[in-house]
């Protein structure tokens, strides 16, 4: 797996072995970041259900100043740390090894964020609760974006508090929704 754009373009990332993670395909990642365009520059990013960290590292490659990676698997969290070190961006990252949907999860103390990537297992029932928590806890900056990767069968609401669906794209069996925080500061 490689970073598809920015300063770290073509650098390789390690990914956890087995079926416990599902890395976002390169073409989907490229499309997501084309839609985000210049939003990464100077942004603070949260990568929930990070897996290998590919989305967060892609954002850093494209100008993000920091990324908090949240991953429940110890093995995957260790690989994110290895990837950060090999890319030379360890000082820009924080890896939190816990369930992103846990009520008292530590990542909530690091917001608000400009960009949030949310890619839980497709069969997960955590989508709605996390989108609501992001909005209710003011974890997305005004005009910030939440990018949600999901399967077609998983339907989400148009709004979660101040988060409003702005765009939805289909890539084969994968859907990517872009929510924007329209709440006032």
pLDDT at residue 22 tops 60: no
In a domain, 29, yes or no: no
Least confident range from 62-66, 88-92, 101-105: namely 101-105
Residue 148: the pLDDT is 96
Instruction: Tell me, yes or no, whether 32 lies in a domain.
Output: no
Segment 94-116 mean pLDDT: 87
Would you say residue 23 lies in a domain?
Answer: no
Residue 175 has pLDDT above 60, yes or no: yes
Task: Let me know the angle formed at the C-alpha of 128 by 133 and 156, rounded to the nearest 5 degrees.
Answer: 135
- Mean pLDDT, to the nearest integer, of 84-105? 90
Q: What CATH number does residue 149 fall under? A: 3.40.50.150
Q: Is 19 exposed, middle or buried (0-12, 13-18, 19+ CB in 10 A)?
A: exposed
Nearest Cα to 12, choosing from 92, 108, 79, 97? 79
Mean pLDDT within 9-19:
80
Q: Is residue 11 part of a domain?
A: no
pTM given for the model: 0.93
Q: Is residue 57 part of a domain?
A: yes
Q: What is the pLDDT of residue 75?
A: 94
For residue 62, what pLDDT is reported?
Answer: 96
Residue 166 lies in a domain: yes
Q: Calculate the average pLDDT of the chain.
A: 90
pLDDT at 37: 87
pLDDT digits over 39-56, tens only? 999 999 999 999 999 999
Q: What's the rounded mean pLDDT across residues 89-107?
A: 87
Range of the domain at 133: 41-181
The widest CA-to-CA distance across the chain, in whole angstroms, is: 43
**10 in a structural domain:** no
Evaluate whether residue 36 is within a structural domain: no
DSSP secondary structure letters along 33-88 = HHHHGGGGTT-EEEEET-TT-HHHHHHHHTT-SEEEEE-S-HHHHHHHHHHHHHHT
Provide the domain count of the chain. Answer: 1
Q: What is the mean pLDDT of residues 159-181?
A: 94
Q: Are 130 and 161 in contact (CB under 8 A)?
A: no
In this model, does residue 19 exceed pLDDT 50?
A: no
Give the model's pLDDT for residue 48. 95
């Amino acid at each position: 797996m490689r970073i598809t754009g920015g300063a770290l373009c073509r650098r390789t990332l390690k990914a956890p072995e087995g079926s416990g993670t599902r890395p976002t395909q390169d073409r989907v990642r490229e499309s997501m970041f084309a839609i985000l365009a210049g939003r990464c520059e100077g942004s603070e990013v949260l990568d929930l259900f990070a897996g290998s960290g590919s989305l967060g590292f892609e954002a850093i490659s494209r100008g993000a100043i920091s990324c908090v990676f949240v991953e429940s698997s110890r093995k995957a969290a260790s690989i994110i740390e290895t990837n950060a070190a090999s890319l030379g961006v360890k000082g820009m990252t924080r890896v939190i090894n816990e369930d992103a949907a846990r009520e008292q999860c530590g990542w909530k103390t690091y917001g608000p964020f400009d960009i949030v990537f949310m890619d839980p297992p497709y069969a997960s029932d955590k989508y709605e609760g996390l989108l609501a928590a992001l909005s209710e806890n003011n974890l997305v900056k005004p005009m910030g974006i939440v990018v949600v990767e999901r399967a077609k069968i998983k339907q989400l609401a148009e709004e979660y508090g101040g988060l409003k669906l702005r765009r939805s794209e289909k890539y084969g069996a994968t859907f990517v929704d872009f929510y924007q925080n329209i709440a006032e500061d």
